[in-house]
């Protein structure tokens, strides 16, 4: 087979491209990385993702694929080793359900509802976030990973929680999950964040804290306008 | 109990997405109309996380989220495929499905709001339509090419429900001269076999959504 060209467009800090990087590395796929500066987007990025102008973009033999969860499904279909999705259609539907839940509810609540808010608005979101996270806690019952014995699509989709949640907690000065209410989630965070491949690819913690702090300040300033 | 049940509500575009997929594939099913103002214990059991319709129940096992149900149907009943077979083409389809899932609801914000909030939602809706017009449809008959595909079904809100929203709020959003391709597609889609015989009555929808909007604004 001709040599495949696989490129991932990412930033150093965003959790979404990490999903793609994990997937490719777990499958042992060789790829090149292109780091983007989102304040100065490259012409290539704009060409490959004209609709959203965002990362990640996967470039495979010259064809761009955008949206991280869409990319994960593509990667799983192209490279069959280390499957991310189960075989059974009903189990696949459940995996897709939780991946979507992670993006629509978990990410939204924790970043836009809590990190980027303050005072009363933030206080009101916290019980909602707890309810949302409780669903994840339930889903982990009897499982090491969301994918079962091995890391799967849902683990990669929710993986940002295992590292970025701690960073967000530090930035806002508030602990969101504790051992009493979320023992399984905390255990999953430990297992996932230290798993081979995953643990080698986290961005540097101190720099992330600084970046998230700055993003938070900017978001709060925008709200005051 | 029927092998396959679709739990939905008659005015919901999300409900119809699943209904059309079932009919296009010739899958027999039983339809259960849910009352969302008084949710059945069964619905709460089948969709404990979101408590929403549609829910597809197959052999007693529930599947939730309309587009996820469509992927499930396509995997389990491969006849009349809704997704192409090529992985890259599938990724393009999934990209647009996500796009409409994320951006489509701005039309419903137009329906639910007034004043500044509504103005912003109208802007968002126009942007969404513009992106689809410029990037998604091309010169094809359907998003799926010669046949209806997953993106056509996902965008069906634009074909049949947007008109109702426009009439209820008195704002025209999908102007034919601004969105010629999309406008042509709405006609083609609604005249397609199966679709044309399975659309909720627009007069009934107008009554329903007018009342719903009045209630919403009164409680705001």
Q: Searching chain A, which residue's CA lies closest to the CA of residue B92?
A: A65
- Judged by DSSP in three states, A176 sits in coil
Q: What per-residue string of b and e applies to B85-114 under the rule 16 or more CB within 10 Å gives b?
A: eebbebbbbbbbbbbbeebbbbbbebbbbe
Min Cα–Cα distance to chain A from B35, Å: 23
From A60, A93, A135, residue closest to B68, measured CB to CB = A93
pLDDT at A119: 93
Q: Are strands A32-35 and A63-66 parallel, antiparallel or unpaired?
A: unpaired
pLDDT at B2: 62
- Judged by DSSP in three states, B75 sits in helix
Q: Does this model's pTM top 0.90?
A: yes
Min Cα–Cα distance to chain B from A95, Å: 10
Phi, psi of B56 (to 5 degrees): -105, 130
Sequence-distant (6+) residues with CB within 8 A of A169 are A175, A176
CB A189 within 8 A of CB A165: yes
Q: Please state whether B163 falls in left (phi above 0), alpha (psi between -120 and 50) or beta.
A: alpha
Q: What is the arrangement of strands in the sheet containing A32-35, beginning at the earlier edge strand?
A: A32-35, A6-10, A57-60, A63-66
Binning pLDDT at 50, 70 and 90, where does residue A73 land?
Answer: very high
CB A115 within 8 A of CB A216: yes
pLDDT at A4: 84
Is pLDDT at A147 greater than 80 in this prediction? yes
Mutate to test the interface with B, among A78, A93, A105, A128 (most CBs of B within 10 A): A93
Q: Searching chain A, which residue's CA lies closest to the CA of residue B57?
A: A90
Q: Are strands B30-33 and A57-60 parallel, antiparallel or unpaired?
A: unpaired
From A66, A77, A135, residue closest to B49, measured CB to CB = A135
Structure tokens at B102: 């994320």
By CB neighbour count within 10 A (0-12 exposed, 13-18 middle, 19+ buried), where does B29 fall?
Answer: middle
C-alpha Rg value of chain A to the nearest Å: 18
Residue A56: cis peptide before it, omega within 30 degrees of 0: yes
- Judged by DSSP in three states, A55 sits in coil
Q: How many Å apart are CA B154 and CA B83, to the nearest integer?
A: 12
pLDDT at B220: 78
Phi, psi of A150 (to 5 degrees): -120, 160
CB A65 within 8 A of CB B82: no
Q: Do A89 and B131 touch (CB under 8 A)?
A: no
Can you tell me the ipTM of this complex? 0.96
Residue B54: cis peptide before it, omega within 30 degrees of 0: yes
Binning pLDDT at 50, 70 and 90, where does residue A1 land?
Answer: very low
**Which residues on chain A are in Cβ contact (under 8 Å) with B131?**
51
Sequence-distant (6+) residues with CB within 8 A of B58 are A90, B3, B4, B72, B76
Torsional sign, CA B10, B11, B14, B16: positive
Per-residue pLDDT in tens (0 to 9) along chain B, 220 residues: 469 999 999 999 999 999 999 999 999 999 999 999 999 999 999 999 999 999 999 999 999 999 999 999 999 999 999 999 999 999 999 999 999 999 999 999 999 999 999 999 999 999 999 999 999 998 999 999 999 999 999 999 999 999 999 999 999 999 999 999 999 999 999 999 999 999 999 999 999 999 999 999 998 7
Binning pLDDT at 50, 70 and 90, where does residue A3 land?
Answer: low
Min Cα–Cα distance to chain A from B126, Å: 14
Q: Do B72 and A74 touch (CB under 8 A)?
A: no
Nearest residue to B71 (alpha-carbon basis) of B98, B105, B103, B53: B98
From A50, A60, A92, residue closest to B75, measured CB to CB = A92
Nearest residue to A70 (alpha-carbon basis) of B60, B23, B151: B151
Is pLDDT at A225 greater than 90 in this prediction? no
Per the DSSP assignment, residues forming a β-bridge with A58 are: A8, A65
Q: Do A70 and B98 touch (CB under 8 A)?
A: yes
pLDDT at B124: 98
Q: What is the dihedral of CA B169, B175, B176, B181, to 10 degrees?
A: -100
Phi, psi of B102 (to 5 degrees): -80, -40
From A65, A89, A97, residue closest to B76, measured CB to CB = A89
């Amino acid at each position: 087979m001709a040599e495949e060209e696989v490129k991932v467009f990412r930033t150093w800090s965003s959790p979404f491209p990490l999903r793609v990087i994990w997937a490719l590395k777990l499958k042992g796929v060789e790829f090149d990385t292109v780091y983007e500066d989102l304040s100065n987007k490259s012409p290539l990025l704009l060409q490959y993702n004209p609709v959203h102008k965002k990362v990640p973009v996967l470039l495979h033999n010259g064809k761009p694929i955008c949206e991280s969860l869409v990319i994960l499904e593509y990667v799983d279909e192209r490279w069959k080793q280390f499957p991310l999705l189960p075989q059974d259609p009903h189990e696949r539907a459940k995996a897709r359900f939780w991946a979507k839940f992670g993006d629509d509810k978990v990410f939204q609540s924790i970043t836009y509802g809590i990190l980027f808010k303050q005072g009363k608005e933030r206080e009101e979101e916290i019980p909602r976030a707890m309810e949302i996270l409780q669903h994840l806690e339930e889903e982990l019952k009897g499982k090491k990973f969301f994918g079962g014995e091995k890391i799967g699509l849902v683990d990669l989709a929710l993986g940002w929680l295992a590292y970025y949640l701690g960073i967000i907690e530090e930035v806002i000065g508030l602990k969101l999950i504790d051992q009493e209410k979320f023992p399984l989630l905390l255990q999953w965070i430990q297992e996932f964040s230290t798993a081979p491949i995953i643990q080698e690819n986290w961005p540097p913690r101190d720099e992330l804290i600084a970046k998230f702090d700055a993003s938070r300040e900017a978001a709060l300033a925008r709200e005051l306008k | 109990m029927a092998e396959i049940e679709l739990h939905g509500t008659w005015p919901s575009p999300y409900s119809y997405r699943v209904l059309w997929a079932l009919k296009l594939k010739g899958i027999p099913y039983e339809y259960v109309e849910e009352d969302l103002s008084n949710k059945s214990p069964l619905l709460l059991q089948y969709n404990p996380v979101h408590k929403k319709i549609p829910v597809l129940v197959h052999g007693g096992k529930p599947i939730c989220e309309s587009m996820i149900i469509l992927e499930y149907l396509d995997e389990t009943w491969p006849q009349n495929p809704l997704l192409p077979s090529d992985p890259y083409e599938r990724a393009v389809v999934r990209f647009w499905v996500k796009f409409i899932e994320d951006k489509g609801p701005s039309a419903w914000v137009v329906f639910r709001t007034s004043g500044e909030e509504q103005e912003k939602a109208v802007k968002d809706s126009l942007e969404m339509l513009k992106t689809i017009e410029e990037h998604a449809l091309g010169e094809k008959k359907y998003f799926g090419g010669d046949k209806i595909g997953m993106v056509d079904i996902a965008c069906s809100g634009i074909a049949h429900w947007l008109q109702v929203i426009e009439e209820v709020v008195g704002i025209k959003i999908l102007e034919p001269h601004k969105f010629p391709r999309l406008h042509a597609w709405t006609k083609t889609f609604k005249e397609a076999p199966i679709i044309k015989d399975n659309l909720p009555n627009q007069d009934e929808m107008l009554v329903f959504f007018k009342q719903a909007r009045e209630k919403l604004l009164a409680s705001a």
